[in-house]
Chain A
Amino acid sequence: MSQATLRVQKISGHAGSVPGEDTQRQFTVAKLIDTTTCIGCKACEVACVEWNDMPFSATEFGNSYQTMPETRWNYWNLILFNEHEKEDGSLMWLMRKNQCMHCAEPGCLEACPSDGAIIQYTNGIVDFQQDKCIGCGYCITGCPFNIPKFNKETKRVYKCTLCTDRVSQGLEPACIKSCPTGCLHFGSKDDMKELAETRAKQLREHYNFPNAGVYDPPGVGGTGVIYVLHDATQPELYGGLPKNPSIPLSVKLWKGPLKWLGNVAMVGGLIGLFVHYLRFGPKDRDEELKDSSEGVKP
């Protein structure tokens, strides 16, 4: 058995157990993005496109630094620029590097029907396996962060891999490597949480950001990408970062109670009909010979 298989702890659309579940001891990794020291240089965007060998993606010009409205199938890392007017009338520029959040409880993986098309490694990275993707787009609906993007030509869905190829070789993701201000960090989730809390405390106590805090939403079991925000009470300001994201209720209902109810009803229905036949038989038992032959004349 390969080590790679043991590094998988969740598999989409999978019947039965998962080979790597609780068999290996690995750090859960995390990116830390300190939005308060981001200068919006987009080095991380370029590094992402370069490292992952992605084709050119046309930019849009709308009198702002925002080169495109949202991530694309071939543009996994995008800084969102938000001009925020404070209560005193002064301007704040909120910049947030947006990418897959690598949720501990991923909505994409939950919604995916294809065996092994989405996997979560024991280090927490959620990765799409395009060779197994059937292009149904359920992941698009399952994701609370609007991350998986559909490619019309290949009919498959793509997103940030958290540079799993680099991480498996002990390197940090390409975006982290390229950051000139040190606002991006990478390490174990525990270390990143500690660092983030320290920074948030500093912002609260020394920089006059009383609401500064860490974004690690519990609704999706915590994320593999955590943010330090100037105002953690209003994450929506940062390009629509959801305040309390979770897997959509309808997806949970569909994959939970409805699936149980449906399976019981379908199997129960088959058994019920079979037992009915055993008990009562066909309606025309006594006349079947007559009916299958000539019948009566009018």
Chain B
Amino acid sequence: MSENADQILPHGRVLRYPFLERLNHWIAAGSYIYLLLTGLAFWSPWCFWIAGLLGGGQISRTLHPWAGLFFFYAVVRMYGYWAPQMKSSESDKQWWRSLGFYIQNQDDKMPPAGRYNAGQKALFWSFFYGALVLLLTGLVLWFPERIPWSFRWVRYTSIFLHPVAALATIANFMIHIYMSVFAERGAFGSVIRGDVSLEFAKRYHPGWYEEIMRRSATPRK
């Protein structure tokens, strides 16, 4: 039996993330956390102890690029799953204008969001492009000795852009964790068990909620 996204489940719940999307999310999360920890070790001497904790500097250096490939693979899968849903809509501009209300938890004053609100869309795209930059610069940093001397500017660019892109994703990552674990209760469960309550859908994604309701009203073929 396969799971379908947006399928209404018993007890007033709706499936937000089918199994493969959840699995993929945790491939990304697991590899990202490893990349973050080893990356921080290489970022600052004050964090180099983390590399020791994870088996030493050599092991961290060896596995960091491979974890990067896993992460990028998962991000590409995410693109396949979610990119169509992440297209910006008219109400997104309105959403950004009302960001202050969102921050102050006055969600009733927010324009109704669809399956994803504008902030989530921005998070998705900055993670996507961040991962792309990290991959390209990371490949250069993986094999710096293979870059000919006359192309050393490629190394110079990569060594700077890699941490810049990493910092951008770290900002995303912190907001992502905060929103999903602390701010929106029920969001974390959606990426573990896959479902959210209809209450949750109605509260945070009214557009999506209406869509589900409309679809459930029309009989399936």
Contacts and interface: CB of A to CB of B under 8 A. Distances in A.
12 contacts: A15-B44, A136-B141, A136-B144, A150-B144, A258-B164, A276-B103, A280-B104, A282-B183, A283-B107, A291-B197, A291-B199, A298-B213
Given A280-B105, A297-B12, 12 more contacts: A113-B42, A115-B45, A136-B61, A140-B145, A146-B149, A155-B62, A250-B157, A254-B159, A258-B167, A263-B44, A285-B105, A287-B199
Interface in A274-289: 276-277, 280-285, 287-288
Interface in A254-298: 254, 258-259, 262-263, 265-266, 269-270, 273, 276-277, 280-285, 287-288, 290-292, 294-298
B170 A266 contact: yes
A165 to B, nearest CB: 24
Interface string A96-115: 00000000000000010111
Contacts of A269: 170-171, 174
A1 B140 CA distance: 41
A70 B170 CA distance: 40
B43 to A, nearest CB: 7
Interface string B195-221: 001111001100000000100100000
Contact of A295 (B42, B167, B171, B197): B197
A134 B60 contact: yes
A91 interface: no
B167 A273 contact: no
| Among all A-B residue pairs, the 4 with the closest Cβ atoms | A295-B197, A134-B57, A137-B144, A150-B145
Contacts of A265: 167, 171
Interface in A142-174: 146, 149-150, 152, 155
Contacts of B107: 283
Contact of A298 (B8, B60, B152): B8
Interface string B97-124: 0000001110100000000000000000
Interface in B7-52: 8, 11-13, 41-46, 48, 51
Contacts of B3: none
A292 B184 CA distance: 12
A258 B156 CA distance: 14
A187 interface: no
A114 B52 CA distance: 11
B12 A294 contact: yes
B163 A254 contact: yes
B185 A141 contact: no
Nearest to A139: B144
Interface residues of B, number: 54
Contact of B12 (A134, A285, A298): A298
Interface residues of A, number: 54
Contacts of B186: 284, 291-292
A140 B144 contact: yes
B183 A295 contact: no
Contact of A137 (B141, B182, B213): B141
Nearest to B213: A298
Contacts of A222: none
Contact of B197 (A15, A282, A296): A296
A135 interface: yes
A235 interface: no
Interface in A11-67: 13-15
Which of A251, A254, A258, A263 has most B Cβ within 10 Å? A254
Nearest to B202: A296
A131 B24 CA distance: 38
A186 B85 CA distance: 69
A1 B197 CA distance: 65
A218 interface: no
A291 B190 CA distance: 12
B214 to A, nearest CB: 12
A254 B160 contact: yes
Contacts of B159: 111, 138, 141, 248, 250-251, 254
A155 B145 CA distance: 11
B178 interface: yes
A258 B163 contact: yes
A273 B185 contact: no
B58 interface: yes
A154 to B, nearest CB: 10
A92 interface: no
Contacts of A114: 48, 57
A19 to B, nearest CB: 15
Given A248-B156, A295-B197, A135 B61 contact: yes
